[in-house]
Amino acid sequence: MSGASEYRPTGRRIRASFEGEPVEAETGVSVAAALTASGRSAWRTTREGSPRGLFCGIGVCFDCIVEIDGESGQRACMIPLREGMEIRADGGADRMEGEA
């Protein structure tokens, strides 16, 4: 099918962490999908305290940003979950807005 997702289920599970807590998902899913599947609907807040998480799911809104392995400002919806990945909450979008 043309234009279909490149996601191919493998059945293999991989483990990562979010704020030190275990996150587990099947290979090929995005960080945002793994966080959502683990029961998280938001993983950061704006400066005003509003919760943010997965919104557009296509890399446009930057609501989903996280820190991954020490690199801030990563869009969780665009990055596949990898074994051992250390994910943390990130206020990068707000920081970037402040720098504009």
The correct pick among 75, 85, 87, 92 for binding ligand FES (CB under 6 A) is: 75
Decide if 42 contacts 61 (C-beta within 8 A): no
> What one-character DSSP code corresponds to residue 34?
H
The correct pick among 16, 54, 68, 93 for binding ligand FES (CB under 6 A) is: 54
Q: Is 56 in the site for ligand FES (CB under 6 A)?
A: yes
Nearest CB to ligand FES, comparing residues 10 and 51: 51
Nearest CB to ligand FES, comparing residues 58 and 100: 58
The correct pick among 31, 63, 67, 68 for binding ligand FES (CB under 6 A) is: 63
Positive or negative CA dihedral for 8, 87, 34, 43?
A: negative
Distant-in-sequence contacts of 59-64, Cβ < 8 A, 24+ apart: 62/92, 62/93, 62/96, 63/93, 64/32
User: Contact residues for ligand FES (CB under 6 A)?
Assistant: 32, 54-57, 59-64, 75, 77
